[in-house]
Amino acid sequence: MHEKKVLITGGTVFVSRYIAEYYVKKHYDVYVLNRNSKKQSKGVNLIQADRHNLGNLLRDFHFDVVIDTAYTSDDVEKLLAALDSYEDYILISSSVVYPENLSQPFKEDSPVGLNNYWGTTELIKFEEAAALLK
């Protein structure tokens, strides 16, 4: 059995940092994709790049898991196009795609819609899901 490789976009702040550190502790071979503008977690392999300009940078890699913290459908599409080989893709979205009046906790089948607290800018997350379902 080979050591599993995981790619995490970001990996330096918020949830992506904790995800990277979790998988390092689980002895995965952890790669983070970011611009290297913040301190990297111990034990990760940095792929320094801007996700909007990946070119062939990821072509020689195979990942068992890709964990993406994209903001737009364009982000999702560019990363998927740049990846040559992967098994599972996980998109980490946020709860702001759910209307503020829904009961929590939210579930995968909870209806999405405008959240009046966050406004329309957060509806970009809808586009991500749509891009993945194409």
The domains of the chain, with CATH numbers, are 5-133 (3.40.50.720)
49-81 pLDDT per residue, tens: 999 999 999 999 999 999 998 877 788 889 999
Q: How far does CA 52 lie from the centroid of its chain?
A: 14
91-128 pLDDT per residue, tens: 887 677 778 888 888 887 888 777 777 666 555 555 55
pTM of the model: 0.78
Cβ neighbours of 34 (radius 10 Å): 22
